[in-house]
């Protein structure tokens, strides 16, 4: 049973445009959400996070939006750059087990020059 779902296996965008990666979750106990980026042959790298008490968090070109009622979050990258091409994982954790991250399957983002 996938508690964190990334329904788009891949996404392709033009350089300079916006990339929007989506993530849905089913576990109501999740209260902390993260995005990780992964290049081939490397481990996942932390990108940005958001607590359930917020609905938006911004860091440079990256913004994460959280819609708790819909159990949905999204990552916006503006403007997209070719170096952003990677697999993006959505992850979540909850309360007392906040060290235990539950990951989605990932979305491969390709940014074309």
Closest CA to 14 of 84, 102, 86, 69: 84
> Rounded CA gap, 109 and 63, in Å?
16
102 forms part of the interface with other proteins (CB under 8 A): yes
* The only residue of 35, 66, 104, 111 in contact with other proteins, by rule CB under 8 A: 104
Q: Is 91 in the site for other proteins (CB under 8 A)?
A: yes
Count of C-beta atoms within a 10 Å radius of residue 93: 19
Quick count: other Cβ atoms within 10 Å of Cβ 67?
11
Distance (Å, rounded) from C-alpha 13 to C-alpha 4?
24
When the beta carbons of 99 and 113 are compared against other proteins, the nearer one is 99
Contact between 62 and other proteins per CB under 8 A: no
Residues 1-40 that bind other proteins (CB under 8 A): 4, 6, 32, 36
Binding site for other proteins (CB under 8 A): 4, 6, 32, 36, 41-46, 49, 51, 89, 91, 93, 97-106
């Amino acid at each position: 049973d996938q508690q964190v779902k990334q329904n788009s296996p891949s996404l392709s965008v033009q350089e300079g445009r916006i990339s929007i990666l989506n993530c849905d979750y089913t576990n109501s106990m999740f209260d902390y959400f993260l995005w990780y980026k992964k290049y081939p042959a490397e481990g996942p790298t932390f990108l940005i996070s958001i607590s359930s008490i917020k609905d938006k968090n911004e860091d440079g070109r990256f913004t994460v939006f959280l819609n708790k009622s819909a159990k949905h979050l999204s990552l916006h990258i503006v403007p997209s750059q070719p170096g952003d091409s990677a697999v993006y994982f959505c992850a979540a954790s909850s309360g007392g087990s906040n060290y235990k991250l539950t990951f989605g399957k990932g979305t491969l983002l390709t940014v074309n020059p």
